[in-house]
Amino acid sequence: MMRLFTRFACADWSGAKGSRHPGIALAVCDAGDEAPRLITPPDKAWSRQGVADWLLAQDDDLLIGFDFSFAPPFVERGSYLPGDDVPASAKAFWAYVDHVCNDPDLGAASFLETLHRSHFYFGAADGTKSDYLFWRQCELQNKSSSGKASTVYDAIGASQVAKASFAGMRLLHQLRDAVAIWPFDPLPARGKVALEIYTTIAARAAGVAKGRSKVRDATGLDLALQALGSKPHLPLNHYTDHATDALITAAWLRNVAENPHLWAPNALNIEIAATEGWTFGVI
């Protein structure tokens, strides 16, 4: 089923500890060709809860992308955390993560560092890294085309996709009754929809060369937006990776949201949709 949206947004996410995160940026654009704009956080920096509150307060046909993995791999091994007693569907797993974590601001560091420590690779002391590397079906699909895929079990690196993703699952649990979450929920005829995005896909579509997926200046940002059918942006105080990723990806979502192939990838089936989900734009 296809549908129209009136606004498009992207939240560049963070799993960092604490309650205020300079790594979070939120950008929005309306249907048409006006440039996306950053939403100013209620404090000096966004909290994860602040993003949730903002989204819950919206009352139009908004499509929003989040750049974290909406679930761990399941299909390959038949469990998110083999050997541990955890749910076997994504929505129940989100509820479980939210229930067992008491980290501030929807954080989930304790999930990786303490509660289920044996499943995550933090360094050489944990043994062979390859023993921890498992991917979702959409990540394997994207890996075959891009040559690179992250896994939520690898807890090393500045991007911290692992912490960001499990913190994001707490967010999804909070949103689940008010926002349709694709592809775990069917696409509704009206209302808000959240989906998983990978900002590098948007950057490639915007003409950003492979190997330099980050835009850090006004000229580069306008060139990327122009490639996506957008007018030039209003100048920013600071050109950070987080801000430009959010702006470019919001414009990309607007540009591709009516492409039926992106809503129905060939490899996406009922089991994957209920357990692992899918990254929008991977076909």
The CATH number of the domain where 194 resides is what?
A: 3.30.420
The string of pLDDT tens digits covering residues 229-268 is 999 999 888 899 899 999 999 999 999 999 999 999 999 9
Whole-model pTM: value is 0.94
Q: Is residue 122 part of a domain?
A: yes
The string of pLDDT tens digits covering residues 18-59 is 899 999 999 999 999 999 999 999 988 999 999 999 999 999
Q: Is residue 159 part of a domain?
A: yes
Name residue, tokens 């300079």: 22
Closest to 275 measured CA to CA, from 145, 118, 136, 90: 90
The answer on 184 and 59 residing in a single domain is yes
What the block records as the tokens of 42 is 């209620």
Closest to 142 measured CA to CA, from 93, 201, 219: 201
The answer on 25 and 151 residing in a single domain is no
User: Rounded to the nearest 5°, which phi and psi values hold at 213?
Assistant: -80, -5
Q: How many domains does the chain have?
A: 2
Put residue 135 in one of left, alpha, beta given phi > 0 → left and psi -120 to 50 → alpha.
Answer: beta
Name residue, tokens 């649990």: 173
Count CB atoms within 10 A of the CB of residue 56.
Answer: 14
Q: What is the pLDDT at residue 211?
A: 65
**Which residues, in sequence order, are CB contacts of 221 under 8 Å at separation 6+?**
215, 233, 239, 244, 247, 248
Q: Is residue 200 part of a domain?
A: yes
- pLDDT (mean) for 124-139: 94
What is the helix, strand, coil percentage profile of the chain, to 5?
Answer: 40, 10, 50
Name residue, tokens 């979502």: 253
Residue 154 β-bridge partners? 121
The string of pLDDT tens digits covering residues 140-179 is 987 655 556 789 999 986 556 899 999 999 999 999 999 9
Q: Is residue 96 part of a domain?
A: yes
Range of the domain at 37: 7-70+176-263
Q: Which pLDDT band, with edges at 50, 70 and 90, does 84 fall under?
A: very high
